[in-house]
Structure 1
């Protein structure tokens, strides 16, 4: 891990702690969504101000008004979702994250996902592999050396002995097309389990190896998926039917993500 990864880890955790302070307020978010806006903006500014020391451009969901003519020349930049899972934030189910990805030559090469409520950090990079760290905010208080993080990390993917074929689906955006897809593959598996999850935690379950595939046919944006995509790549998993990043339209195509132990041809055959 180099200094860049360490900086991003600290930034993601600190942004998440700020979000958590707002999230834990007594406001009923279903009636008053101003705390959501505040949390999103505060997280954005923390990330923007701290990550600027890397001297790389930043494309953030909260500050996304960067013209394609301007960003099309970027060969390397940060892609940020300061609060992924706004519906989960409002529902107060805890399934929201801070997402920071490094994009190089239109590919996600590093991803950091931090879950403030779970206090779990996911990191993945081409030269780094992937890992998960629990109690991340506590460790941030004591770890001063970059490589110390690896001493507290669990390497991904985790080994699983469960023979059930697990499909992770969106908790808030489960579409008819996704359900039809699931029904179309039921006869290929002796047993299927659906796991509902919000935000980029769905992609993290694929990186863990806890779930086998994640079909996503509802709209997503690049900042929703780039971090998880990078982490999955670092586990030798795959994301099929995914376009390159930094397109003129930041809307993603439909895709299916698969864990390390799922054959790529099998994923492609499952696709539309």
Structure 2
């Protein structure tokens, strides 16, 4: 009689134990999302990997360093000034798992030429300046080179490349000037008169390219901030200045001032991730 009672009890206990072991092995697959562990704001799922996608707005601001050269300095009486200017960009983009990014943006790019004519009879030099703002549409691609923060993986260095189309760049004369300047002051008055004529022109070369580096850090899912530096290549002579000086006693002299095709930009970047999604992909093929 006891043997008949023990047999069903033992069998029933074995079934409950086997079922518990089975669910104990599979329980991570059936846990609610709120019950799962989080790693860097990601839900840890067995046999699954995550891919994050961010859509964002952003902006760059910084300093532009450009250079220019002249082919005749009139024996030191004509000099070209160093060019520094601030500029800004705004863009919209997509970030795929911090591995690569694509951006479409707008850039406000200042173009400037400036030179000065010295004359001994003048108290101060005469300045000639062309200052033109170029509005452009840019397309950029960014590729992650390194991840600096191995724990949160939120700090990275990106290689950046891009192309810009200046929508308002065309062949045109920006300004013209011409005047007469008495010189050679003596007891009998001015002994000479200089005739100065010239202009500034712009060339239709709308495309430019860039190559640079970006150090970016995600402070939180919505906000990222960083620094950047890039080398920008334009067509040589986008802006050009021409000057001719004629004298009563010497031959006329001419000079040309050219904006160099390459310049350097650096500054700060900030972006706001307005949409953040996570895809879960199986690690087992």
TM-score, length basis structure 2: 0.21
Q: Which has the higher helix share?
A: 1
Query: Which has the larger Rg?
Result: 2
Q: Which has the higher strand share?
A: 2
TM-score, length basis structure 1: 0.22
